[in-house]
Chain A
């Protein structure tokens, strides 16, 4: 091994339209080292990984693998140069066996190779043994547990023996014991002398594993150092924990419906195929209350909201004003006044702002609909200016406002907001935060907010739940969040 770092990134920049997703990032990973790249959702960490691998083309900057400049190369050439990637989602070939899936990764990129090299079989078996798949070589992927599917991905990524290994969210969806086994495997791969880049949401999940951590926020580096140093870093704490936040929580006893809250989620579980997405989750929301569910990406927030909206089968019980919602269609639940603003913004991008709002007010009498639109334009003045513009031409923040406004057109009793801050710049966040604050002060609306951005989630909340790995791990007042749940959240 040379002294040189295996992977060197310098001045890496990527813009998507007006949004700067990655701004002049630079770091290096040496042979036999694990670097953790962390940041909340939308911070640009996945984009960095895609830029290194050539899945996205960088606008500027350099990526060197063993000293060779590969920035702007197509993915397959970067792979042959010595980079391997473990994707977060496994998509094996389903008609082929595990062994054949691994063999695929060993094949040369040649059209003339009509018969596989006989040594391929032997090598594929050796790789399978290494990642712990020996027992299931002849099975089809569909019959395997989730952890084994992840092992296939690792096996494929290391098949060409790449000196640089990129791993996206290594532990997503794994149980604790599986996580431990995976950590050991990743350490072994480092000890082979590889440069490993782990991408994940927070320091905690990778702390045991990494030699160094680099934290990102809105496309920029905010801290670098050992896991401990990064966890103690002021900026990191502010991004993840919201620093010193002014809260205006109303005590739970001030709500009228203490015995039967407006919404009760009782011991709810959701299973996605083999992965447990929610596990005995119980929360409640009083009429008029503002409740925030805080959790990192993948913790189960969207799953929880989809279960409430009737979009998913679940175990346990969800009650509205004491009556079970089970058996009601998603449409009936929405008409009943539980309206969800989903993360994806689902606007009709070719229709104008006004048309999108009119559509939301379809069920209202014309006069009432016009009144409601007037009120919403006061709440989000920018939408009044933009009302003739196609929704697709709005900025991300304006689209988010329009999504919330459209949901409010339905005059919801309970408004569910799923990550309204996703991918938005801090200035826009402030505007949306102001609108939410006015909403809370001037109407009797009940809000259930899902967020990983604590700075945004805490100030408005009356009560906070923390969702982690499919479970509720903390409940309390926002003022006590940093003390009570902070360390676990970093």
Chain B
């Protein structure tokens, strides 16, 4: 029953990605641009869900990892202009390094304190960006001189397939034996340890994987936007949006994060005529989803197919 529904989810997801890859044939560049950002956001949300939904750790600082990736790639490009792939790889590695530095002490504390530690990390990064303006561009933002491509369609396809591959990796990880151990560690660390599992090792691994994909997506998105700023990559509200995307998409589903991200971006676009009120309405809708459908969009979609 379970494996059947897993196969079905994979098939449907693959179908959706293939259909989405033909969108540039009939959709305006503007919409492609929105979707490109939404796909990167989807990766942020999926990476976050691995940590929260499976390892059970609430990371309030996804933007610490994302921002580290984006700024590392951007600064490197500014200073030395190495090949872009090198900048992106450096961004991902910097996020992993930052993640380990953060996780080692943070995983020693429990419950709300882990979340608080990650929150403080975001504030520290934000401060660093603002203070070290000569390196980071400060509050104005950092201009990233190189771009991967200027074609909307090509950027769109890069984001789409990057998201698809990331999603495939994260999803299969979540359904693998390691994902099972992670879930057990997240739900009952004492029992998981008593079954012989090194809980800290597994949680640290989840943190590293989450950091890798966050940093990678952050770096790619910086090259797409040709800029990095606190408001797009680091600010706490960005982190909150990622968390909302993951939760309304469906906790513990990985793939739900993409649904949530697309929903959030589409909604704020559709409601743009409302001006400042649009964010309020989007957040209110998110609140309703969280309260009424705690299993999220993904839960709603798969429920009928999955007899319990």
**Chain A residues within CB distance 8 Å of chain B:** 53-55, 74-76, 79-80, 84-85, 87, 91, 93, 95-97, 100, 103-105, 107, 109, 111, 113-116, 138, 140, 143, 156, 159-160
Given the known interface contacts A85-B194, A100-B2, A109-B197, the answer about A114 and B180 at a Cβ–Cβ threshold of 8 Å is: no
- CB–CB A79/B180 < 8 A: no
> How long is the Cα–Cα vector from A160 to B163 in the complex, in angstroms?
39
Given the known interface contacts A95-B252, A104-B184, A114-B176, the answer about A55 and B195 at a Cβ–Cβ threshold of 8 Å is: no
Q: Does B173 contact A (CB under 8 A)?
A: yes
- CB–CB A114/B194 < 8 A: no
10 tightest CB-CB pairs across the interface, nearest first? A75-B193, A79-B196, A114-B176, A76-B193, A80-B196, A107-B177, A76-B198, A91-B188, A85-B194, A116-B177
Chain B contacts for A115, CB-based, 8 A: 176-177
- CB–CB A138/B180 < 8 A: no
- CB–CB B187/A79 < 8 A: no
Query: DSSP class of A's interface residues: helix, strand, loop or mixed?
Result: loop
Chain A contacts for B188, CB-based, 8 A: 91
Q: Does B201 contact A (CB under 8 A)?
A: yes
Chain A contacts for B172, CB-based, 8 A: 114
- CB–CB B180/A96 < 8 A: yes
* A111 CB contact (under 8 Å) in B191, B201, B252: B201
Which residue of chain B lies nearest to A142 when distances are taken between CB atoms in the complex?
B308
Q: Does B1 contact A (CB under 8 A)?
A: yes
> How long is the Cα–Cα vector from A93 to B197 in the complex, in angstroms?
15
- Bitwise, B148-183 to A at CB < 8 A (1) or not (0) is 000000000000000000000000110011101101
> How long is the Cα–Cα vector from A79 to B188 in the complex, in angstroms?
15
Chain A contacts for B195, CB-based, 8 A: 76, 79, 104-105, 156, 159-160
- What's the least CB distance linking A213 to chain B, in Å? 24
- What's the least CB distance linking A5 to chain B, in Å? 21
> How long is the Cα–Cα vector from A97 to B192 in the complex, in angstroms?
17
> How long is the Cα–Cα vector from A109 to B200 in the complex, in angstroms?
11
Q: Does B216 contact A (CB under 8 A)?
A: no
Chain B contacts for A74, CB-based, 8 A: 193, 198
- What's the least CB distance linking A319 to chain B, in Å? 39
Chain A contacts for B197, CB-based, 8 A: 76, 107, 109
> How long is the Cα–Cα vector from A75 to B308 in the complex, in angstroms?
34
- What's the least CB distance linking B139 to chain A, in Å? 40
Q: Does B92 contact A (CB under 8 A)?
A: no
Q: Does B32 contact A (CB under 8 A)?
A: no
Which residue of chain A lies nearest to B252 when distances are taken between CB atoms in the complex?
A95
Which residue of chain B lies nearest to A87 when distances are taken between CB atoms in the complex?
B191
- A55-B190, A75-B193, A91-B188 are known contacts; what are 19 more A-B pairs with Cβ within 8 Å? A53-B194, A55-B194, A75-B190, A76-B194, A76-B199, A79-B193, A85-B194, A96-B183, A100-B180, A104-B180, A109-B181, A114-B173, A114-B178, A115-B177, A138-B1, A140-B308, A156-B195, A160-B195, A160-B196
> How long is the Cα–Cα vector from A159 to B194 in the complex, in angstroms?
12
> How long is the Cα–Cα vector from A95 to B252 in the complex, in angstroms?
10
- What's the least CB distance linking A200 to chain B, in Å? 19
- CB–CB B187/A104 < 8 A: no
- CB–CB A75/B2 < 8 A: no
- What's the least CB distance linking A99 to chain B, in Å? 9
What is the size category of the interface that chain B forms with chain A? 20 to 34
> How long is the Cα–Cα vector from A225 to B63 in the complex, in angstroms?
62
Chain B contacts for A107, CB-based, 8 A: 177, 180-181, 197
> How long is the Cα–Cα vector from A95 to B183 in the complex, in angstroms?
10
Chain A contacts for B173, CB-based, 8 A: 114
Q: Does B265 contact A (CB under 8 A)?
A: no
- CB–CB A104/B194 < 8 A: no
Can you list 25 residue pairs at the A/B interface with Cβ under 8 Å? Answer: A53-B194, A55-B190, A74-B193, A76-B194, A76-B196, A76-B197, A76-B199, A80-B196, A84-B194, A87-B191, A87-B194, A93-B183, A96-B183, A100-B180, A103-B180, A104-B181, A104-B184, A107-B180, A107-B181, A111-B178, A111-B205, A113-B176, A114-B176, A116-B176, A143-B308
- What's the least CB distance linking B293 to chain A, in Å? 16
Which residue of chain B lies nearest to A99 when distances are taken between CB atoms in the complex?
B2
Chain B contacts for A160, CB-based, 8 A: 195-196
- What's the least CB distance linking B191 to chain A, in Å? 6
Chain B contacts for A54, CB-based, 8 A: 193
- CB–CB B1/A79 < 8 A: no
> How long is the Cα–Cα vector from A85 to B188 in the complex, in angstroms?
14
> How long is the Cα–Cα vector from A105 to B188 in the complex, in angstroms?
13
> How long is the Cα–Cα vector from A152 to B200 in the complex, in angstroms?
25
Which residue of chain A lies nearest to B184 when distances are taken between CB atoms in the complex?
A104
Chain B contacts for A95, CB-based, 8 A: 183, 252
- What's the least CB distance linking A162 to chain B, in Å? 9
* A79 CB contact (under 8 Å) in B178, B194, B201, B308: B194
> How long is the Cα–Cα vector from A85 to B191 in the complex, in angstroms?
9
Which residue of chain B lies nearest to A117 when distances are taken between CB atoms in the complex?
B177
Chain B contacts for A114, CB-based, 8 A: 172-173, 176-178
> How long is the Cα–Cα vector from A109 to B180 in the complex, in angstroms?
11
- CB–CB B180/A97 < 8 A: no
Which residue of chain A lies nearest to B2 when distances are taken between CB atoms in the complex?
A97
- CB–CB B198/A109 < 8 A: yes
> How long is the Cα–Cα vector from A96 to B183 in the complex, in angstroms?
10
- What's the least CB distance linking B43 to chain A, in Å? 20
> How long is the Cα–Cα vector from A357 to B126 in the complex, in angstroms?
46
- Which B1-43 residues have a C-beta within 8 angstroms of A? 1-2
- What's the least CB distance linking B50 to chain A, in Å? 13
> How long is the Cα–Cα vector from A156 to B194 in the complex, in angstroms?
10
- What's the least CB distance linking A91 to chain B, in Å? 5
- CB–CB B180/A75 < 8 A: no
- What's the least CB distance linking B169 to chain A, in Å? 10
> How long is the Cα–Cα vector from A104 to B176 in the complex, in angstroms?
11
> How long is the Cα–Cα vector from A74 to B196 in the complex, in angstroms?
10
> How long is the Cα–Cα vector from A53 to B194 in the complex, in angstroms?
7
- What's the least CB distance linking B155 to chain A, in Å? 32
Chain A contacts for B2, CB-based, 8 A: 96-97, 100
